[in-house]
Amino acid sequence: MRVVSGSAKGRPLKSVPGSGTRPTTDKVKEALFSMIGPYFDGGSALDLFAGTGGLGIEALSRGMDRAVFVDMEPKSIDTVRANLKATKLEGQAEVYRNDAGRAISALEKRGRRFDLVFLDPPYRLKHGDELMLALAEKGLLEEDATIVLEHESGYDYPEDIKGFYRVRQAVYGETTVSIYQYEAAGPDETGSGGEEQDESAN
């Protein structure tokens, strides 16, 4: 794994020891950022199931001002810190060991708000939509925030989730990336929130 583009382009990223994490491949990462960026003019990102930290680090490399990384596993937290140091981005990052629900509550207390959120929960957990709703209810999302939800291709989340509408979906073998836009009032009545769908071979 490496940083695909931006200020830290080409820098290698460590994997989490063991087989408990499922890092986003460089191929999927490159396609994902071409859909949501590919570059950013500042803003704040949240990588809620950080794993290696690869997605949040890529966002920082491509222009996000700050990123918060959260994971439950100590090995993941150590890997995120090592990767931030290797990419010289640690000064723009906060790293917390916590589960997703508690992290959302803690970030609410700190008054944090995010323009971009990565949700890549373990495939056995089908609660990405619940986490999105919690982020909205706790006031953690800027208007028009982008949510990137990775999930197994055999499971599909609704196209519309209260306050969110799906704008893109791409399939990469066993992994599907669903991209949602947050709009507290819902998509406008002209139908501009329509979805595009891509299918890509592994």
In this predicted structure, what is the pLDDT of residue 194?
Answer: 55
Sign of CA dihedral 10, 17, 81, 96: positive
Beta bridge partners of 141: 114
In this predicted structure, what is the pLDDT of residue 198?
Answer: 62
Q: 81-102, pLDDT tens digit by residue? A: 999 999 999 999 999 999 999 9
How far is the C-alpha of 37 from the C-alpha of 30, rounded, in Å? Answer: 10
How far is the C-alpha of 11 from the C-alpha of 26, rounded, in Å? Answer: 12
Q: 159-199, pLDDT tens digit by residue? A: 999 999 999 999 999 999 999 999 976 545 434 455 655 65
In this predicted structure, what is the pLDDT of residue 20?
Answer: 66
DSSP codes, 73-99: -HHHHHHHHHHHHHTT-GGGEEEEE--
pTM equals 0.90
How far is the C-alpha of 31 from the C-alpha of 47, rounded, in Å? Answer: 18
Q: 53-73, pLDDT tens digit by residue? A: 999 999 999 999 999 999 999
Beta bridge partners of 73: none
How many C-beta atoms surround the C-beta of residue 11 within 10 A? Answer: 17
Phi, psi of 42 (to 5 degrees): 85, -170
Q: How confident is the model at residue 25 (pLDDT cuts 50, 70, 90)?
A: confident
Q: Is the peptide bond before 38 cis (omega within 30 degrees of 0)?
A: yes
